[in-house]
Amino acid sequence: MPDWEIYYYKNIKGEEPVREFIDKHRLKDQVKIFDWISRLEELGPNAVRPLVEYLGKDIYELRIKLSDTESRILYFFKFQNCMILADAWDKKNHAKSKTEYKKHMDIALKRKNEYDERKISKKDL
């Protein structure tokens, strides 16, 4: 059993945007995404490039190459051994990647701060 646990960010309505993002992909891509998430769960903070990248402000990026695109899942650490998958998108256009990163980084930070403000406990995950 891995030392790290993966959880999906859940808003106050109970929606899980990263899970919804994964569900929109073809089955073979979903399998690959879950495989990479499993690797992340095994490695925790020891995961390095090319699997993950530290973006700053306690936000990390899981980097997944799919058959026709690159997917990104932003996450943060919570509690002693938990990672929260906060936001995800398909990186389609390298020219727009800086604005995409900023937009998704802002979303991930907002969700991280929301968890802090809501005083989410581990049992709430």
Asked if 6 and 124 count as a contact pair (C-beta separation under 8 A), the reply is: no
Query: What's residue 80's pLDDT?
Result: 83
Query: What's residue 120's pLDDT?
Result: 72
Query: What's residue 113's pLDDT?
Result: 92
- Supply the CATH classification number for the domain 5-124: 3.30.2310.20
Beta strands in the chain (DSSP E): 5-8, 52-56, 59-65, 70-78, 82-91
SS (H, E, C) 78-103: ECCCEEEEEEEEEECCHHHHHHHHHH
pLDDT over 70 at 37, yes or no: yes
Mean pLDDT taken over the chain: 90
Average pLDDT for 24-34: 95
Long-range contacts of 18-21 (CB under 8 A, 24+ apart): 18/73, 18/85, 18/86, 18/87, 18/88, 21/73, 21/88, 21/89
Domain ranges of the chain: 5-124
Kindly report, residue by residue over 64-122, the tens digit of the pLDDT.
Answer: 999 888 999 999 998 888 999 999 999 876 656 778 889 999 999 999 999 888 777 77
Average pLDDT for 34-47: 94
What proportion of the chain, given as a percentage, has pLDDT over 70? 93
Query: What's residue 79's pLDDT?
Result: 85
